[in-house]
Amino acid sequence: MNISTSCNTFEWAINISLELPLLWDSGRVEIKENLQKLVFPKGISYYHKIGTFLTDEVNEVFQPIPDQVKFLGD
């Protein structure tokens, strides 16, 4: 992947992530399933003992976003 493609992919991921709440709230079940598969390609599971969701993998284009949000919040 070249730098231009990486920048375009990252920009696409940011734009999608900004729309996630709206897409989730207004989406049908099929939309929500597709969003989950997009962000969590290996799926998610609920760990009942501690009441949280877990995943083994986050789509690599979405991985930097929490760090960026944390950085911007500091």
Q: Range of 27's domain?
A: 3-73
Rounded-to-integer distance, Cα 15 and Cα 66, Å: 14
pLDDT single digits (tens) 19-59: 888 999 999 999 999 999 988 999 999 999 999 999 989 88
Domain tally, the chain: 1
pTM of the model: 0.65
